Structure formats: C-alpha cells, structure tokens
Amino acid sequence: MANASIAVLISGRGSNLKSLIDACADDGFPAEISLVISNRPKAPGLKHAETAGIRQAVIDHRDFETREEFDAALDERLQAEGVDFVCLAGFMRLLSDGFVDEWRGRLINIHPSLLPAFRGLNVQERTLDAGVKIAGCTVHFVSPELDAGPIIGQAAVPVLPTDNVSSLSSRILEQEHKLYPQCLRLVVEGKARISGAVVQYDAEIQCVGALLNPPTD
C-alpha cells in the first residue's frame, strides 16, 4: 500500500516540519511529505524542505484581497498535488470555513497548550500568568472555530518555579516534536478517527501514565 501524501503548511522556522521530515524518512512510517507551502516567501523552514529534497511553494497571502481567495489558491495547489492530509506547522493564518470543511478529517494542527485551555496566541505568557502547574501541547483536527477541533493527542510537561516564557516554550517544543509524528501516524493508519465531536482510538492503543506537579514522595 502506497504511503499517504502529506502537505505541510508553515509560516516560520519550521521546527515541527523538521520533526515530520525526520519521521517520514523512516522506512516504516506510513506517510511521505510531497509538498511544503509557506505563506511567507522568506520563511526559514523552507530550507528544511530544500535540504530534504521536498518540493516547496510560496503562496503569499499578501497577493490576495480576501482570505477566501488565498484559501482557494491554497486548495487548488493541494488538490493538484493529490495530497491526502495537510499538517499545519506554525502556519500563522486563519483558514476560512470553506477550506476547513473541504479538508475536514484530513487537516491537522499542533498547538502549544493543553487544549481547550489557552487557545490563540501568547500561550506561554498566559500559562505562566495563570499559575498553572502542568502545561503541554495538543495535536488536533482543525475545525472552523480556532483551536477547537477534535483532539488527537496531547503531551504534558511540568511548569517549574524558575520558568519563563522561553524555557517553558522550549520544554513544550521538545514534546511537540515527538507528539506530532505519532499523531500523524495514528491518523494515517486509521487508528485515530473522528467520532462525533471527539477522536476515538483503536482498542490496541493503550494510554497509561500520569504527571504530578509537585510530585509525590
């Protein structure tokens, strides 16, 4: 069976793109990245695609008068490529309802919080201001509502008394690089599927373990 074709959409440095590229380089991974699209011509993440020999495209949102026109150009390129799934990896654009509906169940995003907490921007600053003791990241299917689609997987990290935005962001990003490829694998293999408003796993997927902060003796 042929590997699933993946497009990754980026706007910046592409660290999660790099983690997906590395995962897809494994012969046992069920997907391959066929295209990387950036809405910013000088996005550093395009270098990761170039190094890996992956086709790149720039669709600059500033060339379009409306979000819908930009999304139509984006969809046209994805359809022409024969893409099966789309991964957002630091893609800093709100997608129109029509685009999201077209790719429902095949459009995945990663967000640096334990959703539904701290949707939107400035996540780690808000996390620290709220005084929470456990933070993390979430991979989810994209829905028209911002950062609100069915959750595929999450990873948690402790918030340390000495943390600032930079240190907490770095600790979470380390887990993002592990979580995103794993969740993509589950989706591509059909082991994580949307059921109503949530995602259900196959029975063989075992979820165990706990993180306590502060820890018990």
**Residues, the chain:** 217
The yes-or-no answer on residue 61 being catalytic is no
Q: Quickly list DSSP for 129-148.
A: HHT-SEEEEEEEE--SSTT-
Please pick, among 48, 61, 111, 140, the residue that the annotation labels catalytic.
111
Instruction: Please answer whether residues 34 and 2 qualify as being in contact, where contact means their C-beta atoms are separated by less than 8 angstroms.
Output: no
**Distance, CA of 45 to CA of 149 (rounded, Å):** 25
The amino acid that residue 210 corresponds to is: A
**Token pair for 153:** 């997987």
Residue burial 178-202, b: 16+ Cβ < 10 Å; e: rest: ebbbebbbbbbeeebbbeeeebeee
Annotated catalytic residues are 111
